Structure formats: structure tokens, C-alpha cells
């Protein structure tokens, strides 16, 4: 069981890091409080590929966008200027989420070396630290999402930076962000912290109390030899 634990746990941890980096991290839904406008936007989005009502981004995609820079080189404002109201939240979330992934990498290393109860307890404590950082990420992201939904970030200027569709930019005049949430990438990492804790406790129990086949012993019939006088 010790060997199985030291193989399975690092795989789970490394899988969590990959999921956090490549799976969708944020989901934004564009719409309006007016049902007629919502219907219009949905109808237009089905006709034009440049207009969507749901936008999802992974950490990998966001990094690519930052490296590539704005779609329009002649954009009046940079991303940092457009996102100024939530810039502190963005930086805080980026730092915290990076720490989450680094903690998960540490879990992978510790679990690969966990050949004793003390080291398995260290894995549990490290995962608990990762959960604490995850909760801080949720608090920071909720703060940013509340500002976005409240309209503190100019949606028209933001879309003009990340999209070259004139229709998509014009559509932002009548719509706003109605929903902003953390997505699968984040919750996969969060869930695997919990899973590794449960798996470690279960594995430690099995290591301490291994399941053995119960052996039944049959009494051999002793043949008595009768000594004749």
C-alpha cells in the first residue's frame, strides 16, 4: 500500500496542476436585465461568430493574451488602464493561484517521498494549507466579480482590446456582465486538495491495518497406534 500511495498521489497532484493551468478558470456571461434585449443578443450571437454570450478563459489562454498584447494596436487604453478598478484583485488572485499550484507541486514531491506516517501527515498539512489559499482566492475573485457586474470595468473598452469584431464591440453598449464565476480549472485543484487529504487518511489506515486473508487451521487427526501386549 505504501508503494501504491507513493505512485497514485503524485499523479493526482500533477494532474491537478495541469488542470488548473489548462482547464477554464473564469466564466463570464454577457446579457441584460431586459428579456427582449437578451433574446436579441442570443439571436445575433447565433448569426455572427464574433458575438458570444458566454466567455471562458483558462490560465494558459490568459497568459497567451497578455504575451500577445491587445488585438488592436491603436487601442486608446491598455489593459491595465481599462482594468484599473480590479487591478489589485487581479494581482492578488494571480499570486494566490500561483501559490496554490506551487503547493500542489510540493504535495506531489512530498507524497512521492512519503514512506512514513510523519511524511504522510506532512502531505495532509500541506493540502490543508492549499485549501486555505484556495478560500482566499475565492474571496478575492468574488470581490473582483462584484466590481465587474456593478459596471466598474468598462465592457466596451475591454472587448475592444480582446476582440477585433466591430459588432461585438457595439453589442457591449446594450449589454453588461450578468454573471462572473470561477470555473472548472479552479475547482478541480480545490477538489483534489480535499481528495488527497481523504486518500492519505484512508491509505494510512490501510498501511496501519493491512487487510489480510484470514487463515483457518484444521486440526490434523492424530493416528494412534495401539500397542498390543
pLDDT digits (tens, 9 = 90+) for 150-191: 888 877 677 666 655 555 555 555 566 778 899 999 999 999
Q: What is the rounded average pLDDT for all residues in the chain? A: 80
DSSP single-letter state for residue 85: G
The C-alpha atoms of residue 196 and residue 192 are separated, in whole angstroms, by 6
pLDDT for the residue numbered 158: 72
Instruction: Give the tens place of pLDDT for each residue, 96-155.
Output: 999 999 999 999 999 999 888 899 999 999 999 999 999 999 999 999 999 988 888 877
pLDDT for the residue numbered 35: 62
Residue 8 has pLDDT above 60, yes or no: yes
pTM: predicted TM-score of the whole model, two decimal places: 0.80
Contacts of 54 (CB under 8 A, 6+ apart): 27, 28, 29, 30
> Please, is 84 exposed, middle or buried when counting C-beta atoms within 10 Å of its C-beta (0-12, 13-18, 19+)?
middle
Confidence of residue 200 (pLDDT cuts 50, 70, 90): very high
pLDDT for the residue numbered 75: 57
Residue 24 has pLDDT above 70, yes or no: yes
Confidence of residue 207 (pLDDT cuts 50, 70, 90): confident
Amino acid at each position: 500500500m505504501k508503494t501504491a500511495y507513493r505512485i497514485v498521489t503524485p499523479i493526482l497532484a500533477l494532474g491537478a496542476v495541469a488542470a488548473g493551468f489548462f482547464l477554464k478558470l473564469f466564466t463570464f456571461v454577457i446579457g441584460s436585465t431586459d428579456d427582449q434585449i437578451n433574446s436579441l443578443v442570443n439571436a445575433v450571437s447565433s448569426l455572427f461568430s464574433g458575438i458570444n454570450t458566454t466567455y471562458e478563459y483558462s490560465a494558459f489562454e490568459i497568459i497567451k493574451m497578455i504575451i500577445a498584447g491587445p488585438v488592436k494596436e491603436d487601442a486608446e487604453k491598455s489593459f491595465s488602464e481599462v482594468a484599473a478598478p480590479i487591478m489589485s484583485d487581479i494581482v492578488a488572485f494571480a499570486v494566490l493561484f500561483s501559490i496554490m499550484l506551487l503547493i500542489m507541486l510540493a504535495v506531489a514531491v512530498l507524497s512521492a517521498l512519503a514512506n512514513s506516517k510523519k511524511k504522510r501527515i506532512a502531505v495532509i498539512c500541506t493540502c490543508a494549507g492549499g485549501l486555505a489559499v484556495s478560500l482566499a482566492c475565492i474571496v478575492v475573485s468574488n470581490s473582483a466579480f462584484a466590481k465587474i457586474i456593478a459596471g466598474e470595468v468598462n465592457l466596451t473598452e475591454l472587448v475592444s482590446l480582446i476582440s477585433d469584431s466591430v459588432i461585438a464591440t457595439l453589442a457591449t453598449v446594450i449589454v453588461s456582465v450578468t454573471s462572473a464565476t470561477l470555473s472548472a480549472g479552479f475547482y478541480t485543484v480545490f477538489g483534489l486538495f480535499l481528495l488527497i487529504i481523504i486518500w492519505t487518511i484512508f491509505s494510512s489506515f490501510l498501511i496501519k491495518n493491512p487487510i489480510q486473508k484470514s487463515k483457518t487451521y484444521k486440526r490434523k487427526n492424530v493416528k494412534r497406534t495401539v500397542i498390543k501386549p
